[in-house]
Structure 1
Amino acid sequence: MDSPGQYEQQVVWTVVDTGIGPLFLAATREGLVNVVFHATDAVRDRALERLASRLGAEPVEAPGSPLLSEAICQIEAYFAGERHGFELPLDWSLVAGFNRQVLRELASGVPYGKVVGYGDLAGRVGQPGAAQAVGAAMGANPLPVVVPCHRVVESDGGIGGFGGGLEAKRSLLALEGVLPEPLF
């Protein structure tokens, strides 16, 4: 017999190959909840453990689930240069407070092919002078690529940091026409 609440939180996941390596994707009934770079078996297994702990449900591999299928289609189109934005429901439950506020502003307010400074983004959420906190929010982004933290750069023209590595950040910015294609 099923226990009460057994189906309250279902988490499905898959791994998709992209132009910057394999991405781990996970979703709940609410929407896409997690994207993780460099999804080797070890990285994937750590992501699955974190999700089970944070969301209270054991993730199930289900690349054919409707939400993951749509996410895969949109991510593949993005990397093919055919899509400039994502139209996916997002589950923000892995991020809260200031970080969520900053990431939502980034997702809605910094379009494809544009960049914003850490300090500028802080100002947009009413916290001028909180550039370092914005940097921390970018580092805590549970939905990179889809919530485009790669578009946040230093005000002096530096590229800034990136959880997926600077090579991935450069590749994403080159894909969007912000930087020239890497020479090698």
Structure 2
Amino acid sequence: MENRMMFHDTFNTPIGPLLLVGDGHALHHVGLPESRHPLKLAADWKRAPQVFSEARRQFDAYFSGTANAFDLALAPHGTDFQRRVWMALREIPYATTISYAELARRTGNSKASRAVGLANGANPLPIIVPCHRVIGANGSLTGFGGGLAAKKFLLDLEQRHAPARAFALSP
């Protein structure tokens, strides 16, 4: 993570403790409790809860159902392709799911479902960049770095707090 001073903090959420890593200007990483590839903290990173007060406030609002989006400076590190996939993830509306094939189509290559899945799995900012909203083509909950129980919890949370959808009555 570059040559700037990095900070970290861990705080409790309904899905377990989240690890936040950033440089004081932007958030670089959100570590999930059941992560298959947990981030190793560097010896020179400093624990600084105050650096993440706004991020914690927004996560609290998300988990309480009073906010459905995040407004934080983000600095994810990845390839151009990964960053394109992560941008497409941010366009998936709250309480909505899409398939990996649809995500591939939205990134400009409908045949890239597998590559999109790998980029989705490499997302360093889960929940904020909502990779949990991508599901299997048959509707199954597949692949989530924080475990399927956490993915189900997040999707259920969003469904419970989704704004009422407008509908029109037929004449």
So what's the TM-score if we normalise by structure 1? 0.80
| 2:56 paired with 1:64 | no
Residue-pair matches, total: 157
The secondary structure found in structure 2 opposite 1:71 is helix
2:40 is matched with which residue: 37, 43, 47? 47
Task: Identify unmatched segments of 5+ residues in structure 1.
Answer: 1-7, 53-57, 179-184
2:33 is matched with which residue: 15, 38, 48? 38
Q: Note if contact 1:115-1:152 (Cα within 8 Å) is conserved in structure 2.
A: yes
1:149 is matched with which residue: 123, 131, 138? 131
Whole-angstrom CA distance in 1 between matches of 2:99 and 2:110: 12
Q: Which runs of 4+ in 1 moved over 6 A?
A: none
Task: Identify unmatched segments of 5+ residues in structure 2.
Answer: 161-171
Deviation at 1:136, TM superposition (A): 0.5
Quote the sequence identity (%): 41
- Residue 63 of structure 2 aligns with which residue? 79
Q: Note if contact 1:9-1:29 (Cα within 8 Å) is conserved in structure 2.
A: no
1:22 is matched with which residue: 17, 21, 24? 17
Whole-angstrom CA distance in 2 between matches of 1:115 and 1:39: 22
- Residue 102 of structure 1 aligns with which residue? 85
Q: Note if contact 1:26-1:33 (Cα within 8 Å) is conserved in structure 2.
A: yes
The secondary structure found in structure 2 opposite 1:98 is helix
* Greater RCO (CA < 8 Å, at least 6 residues apart): 2
Whole-angstrom CA distance in 2 between matches of 1:115 and 1:30: 31
Cα RMSD for the two superposed structures: 2.0
Deviation at 1:138, TM superposition (A): 1.4
Task: Please give the per-residue CA displacement for 1:25-63, whole angstroms capped at 9, x wherever unaligned.
Answer: 0112441100011189xx87x5314xx7xxxxx311000
Q: Note if contact 1:119-1:131 (Cα within 8 Å) is conserved in structure 2.
A: yes
Task: Please give the per-residue CA displacement for 1:56-96, whole angstroms capped at 9, x wherever unaligned.
Answer: xx31100012xx1100000011111111000001012x212
Whole-angstrom CA distance in 2 between matches of 1:114 and 1:28: 31
Whole-angstrom CA distance in 2 between matches of 1:139 and 1:83: 24
Deviation at 1:162, TM superposition (A): 0.6
